[in-house]
Structure formats: structure tokens, C-alpha cells
Amino acid sequence: MSEKVGEMGKDLRVVNWLSQRVKFLGLLVVPGVLIPIPQYPLYSASLAEYGLGQVGYYLDEDNQWALDEKELTRAIEASKTGPNACKVRALVVINPGNPTGQVLTRPNIETIIKFCHKHRLVLFADEVYQDNVYAEGSQFFSFKKVMMEMGAPYSKEVEVASFMSVSKGYMGECGLRGGWMELVNFDPQVQANLYKAISAMLCPTVLGQTTVDLVAKPPKEGDPSYELWLKEKTAVLASLNKRAKMIADTFNTMKGFRCNIVQGAMYAFPRFDMPPKAIEAAKAAGKAPDVFYAFKLLEETGICVVAGSGFGQRPGTYHFRTTILPQPALLQEMLDIFKGFHEKFTKEYA
């Protein structure tokens, strides 16, 4: 079996090399995938690994990081020309968002489904934070459910792949890697080939597979463990809700900061101003301005955030991603230290 897997890996490398050569010679229109900016870097890395075109579309920060149909259209049109021209075949949506913490409204989801149908795009729905919704008025809607309720032609023709993970969400079993994917309206032959490709890869550990079964089928009312499970789940989500408010409220009191409310997931992605002298200092240090800020923060306080340039952002804007995971008392301590650092940083480079 190991020999066969090794041979398949060799064959895949040959195919990838040939596709790259064909691309270089201009004989092939490379398939492209629309991914959000900012985005979870797994997507850009995977596209690079498979030699596919990366087509970024900007989320609307002024509208709680929503998807805008005009921006999606702009991104598709821009992908048709230039040195990295490609043919867009799929759209990635992360809901609730990483790193932005947004939760898409149902009308926004319906617009996205119609857009995919119009342009014949496969929809990849990353829905691993579906249980983590905090903001009042926000609600998680699965793309599959909305699509089915929209009826034909969408329920019959739009291809959707939905992803779920045990390592995220309220359960947060980060050490027990496992998850699942549901395919809707895929061609049977395409689905069969996908299963074949996945079967050639290593599978999760027994513990990971057991956890997948538990997360996919949580206790039901009347089960012996239901009351305890519900109590623990409610407590975890209530605490995360409190921390989500703490993060956004604190950043929005800091000079030069602007942070959308954390509607869901586990992250905030605040935008902040960089003094011109700090930008000059970053350039002299050979770093992007937001990276310079993040390193200064780490060196002086021990607080670690990820610079926004690691996820993508509109040119001329600066962000970073931080989590809402520290327990409330520790989170408050961190925010107080952060506030003091930013005041010092602003004065230093004023």
C-alpha cells in the first residue's frame, strides 16, 4: 500500500510539473479561486501548492466585513488580464470570519449563492465557527440550508462544499485534528475522483476520528450527558461573548483605532493608524509597518498579535489579528498593557 501511495505522489508531482510548464508556455488558462482579503492564509498557501490562480476580493470593512457583489465582479474582471490571468472557477467564503469575526446576514448569503449560479462557480463554505455567534441580531445560516430554501435553480445547480472542524468552534479541540466536508450537487465522477485523492492521504488519529463522531452527533435532550454538555457549552459561549465585547470596546477607546464588533468566531481584526515617523522607521528596519508594530508590541510587552499584512488588507491600511481566547481577567490585563504600549508608541513616533 505504501508503495502505491508513493507512486501516486510521484504521478501527482509529474502532473503538477507538466501543468506548470504548460502554463509557462501560455497553452493553458489556469483555473482561479476567489478568496477573501483578509483571509485565513491556508487558502493562499493551498492555491500556491496546486498551481492555481489566487484572485482576491476585498471584504467591506465599513459594512461589518460583508461581501459586496460589485467587488466580486471587479475581482473576476481583473483576473482575466495581466501576467497572472486565470479563469475563476470557485469562490471561498469564511463564515463566521477568520480573521475578521463577521457573521454574514441571510440576504448577503443569498446574494453570494446567486452570484455563484450566475458565474457557474463552485462555492467553498468554511463554516468551522458556526457555533460561535455573539452579537445581538447576528445568526448563523448555513449556505446549504439557505440554498435549499431558495429552491430551483439554485438548490439543484449550485455546487457547494461545506467544511467543519473539531479543532475550532466552542469545543476547540486543537490537539485532536479532525473534521468533515459535505458536498452538494457535485458531479458523481468528480466526487468519486475526490474521494480517491483523499484516500491516498494519511487519515486522522483514532482520537481525532472519535472526536469527529462526538462533535457531529452531540448529546440529545434526554441523553444522560445532555444537561452537562449544554451547561458547559453555554458557559463557554457566554464567556467568549463577554470577551468579544471587551476586545472591541477597548480598541475603540484607543486613539487611532477602529474595530468592528466581533460578531462571531474567535478573532478581532482592528484597524489602526501608523504615525509617519513609525512608517519611516519600519522601512529603515526592512519591515512592513504593521509587522514593525507587532514586533515592537511583542518585544516590549510579550503580547503576540499577527500583522494584518499576513492576511491581506487594502493598500495603505494597517491591521492586526488578535484572539478573544484569554480568560476575562487575563484578557483585561492584556488590554490594559496594550493600551499603555500604544500610547507610548504614538508619543515615541509623533
| Range in 78-87, 206-215, 292-301 the model is least confident about | 206-215
Angle at 98 between CA 226 and CA 72, to 5 degrees: 125
Total count of residues recorded for the chain: 350
Q: All 3 cell numbers of residue 332?
A: 483585561
Angle at 132 between CA 130 and CA 136, to 5 degrees: 110
User: Cα separation of 133 and 144, whole Å?
Assistant: 18
| Range in 7-11, 16-20, 136-140, 188-192 the model is least confident about | 7-11
Residue owning grid cell 467587488: 71
Burial 6-32 (b: 16+ CB within 10 A, else e): eeeeeeeeeeeeebeeeeeeeeeebbb
Query: Across the beta sheet with 53-58, what order do the strands follow?
Result: 53-58, 31-37, 87-94, 122-126, 160-165, 179-184
Residues with Cβ < 8 Å from 89, sequence gap 6 or more? 31, 32, 33, 121, 122
Strands 122-126 and 53-58: unpaired
User: Cα separation of 232 and 234, whole Å?
Assistant: 5
Q: All 3 cell numbers of residue 256?
A: 487611532
Which residues sit opposite 173 in a β-bridge?
A: none
User: Cα separation of 268 and 279, whole Å?
Assistant: 23
Name the band, by pLDDT with cuts 50, 70 and 90, for residue 220: very high
The predicted structure's pLDDT at residue 331: 95
Share of the chain above pLDDT 90, in %: 79
Query: 208 versus 129: which is more confidently predicted?
Result: 129
Assign 157 to helix, strand or coil: helix
Name the band, by pLDDT with cuts 50, 70 and 90, for residue 147: very high
pLDDT of 7 strictly over 50: no
Residues with Cβ < 8 Å from 312, sequence gap 6 or more? 37, 38, 39, 44, 56
Domains of the chain, earliest start first: 2-216 (3.40.640.10), 226-348 (3.90.1150.10)
Rg (Cα) of the chain, in Å, rounded? 22
Q: Pick the closest to residue 345 from 287, 289, 297 (CA basis).
A: 297
Is residue 176 within 8 A of residue 211, CB to CB? The reply is yes
Assign 276 to helix, strand or coil: helix
Name the band, by pLDDT with cuts 50, 70 and 90, for residue 45: very high
Q: Pick the closest to residue 8 from 222, 199, 181 (CA basis).
A: 199
Q: What is the CA 161 to chain-centroid distance, rounded?
A: 15
pLDDT of 9 strictly over 70: no
User: Cα separation of 146 and 216, whole Å?
Assistant: 20
User: Cα separation of 224 and 165, whole Å?
Assistant: 25
Is residue 247 within 8 A of residue 268, CB to CB? The reply is yes
Q: What is the CA 25 to chain-centroid distance, rounded?
A: 34
The predicted structure's pLDDT at residue 8: 41
Q: Which amino acid appears at position 258 of this protein?
A: R
Give the HSE-up count for residue 109: Cα atoms under 13 Å, Cβ half-sphere: 25
Q: Pick the closest to residue 326 from 258, 239, 259, 234 (CA basis).
A: 239
User: Cα separation of 263 and 256, whole Å?
Assistant: 22
The predicted structure's pLDDT at residue 290: 97
User: Cα separation of 204 and 208, whole Å?
Assistant: 6
Angle at 146 between CA 141 and CA 150, to 5 degrees: 160
Question: What would the mean pLDDT of 170-178 be, rounded to a whole number?
Answer: 80
Question: What would the mean pLDDT of 297-304 be, rounded to a whole number?
Answer: 96
User: Cα separation of 69 and 113, whole Å?
Assistant: 11
Q: All 3 cell numbers of residue 14?
A: 509529474
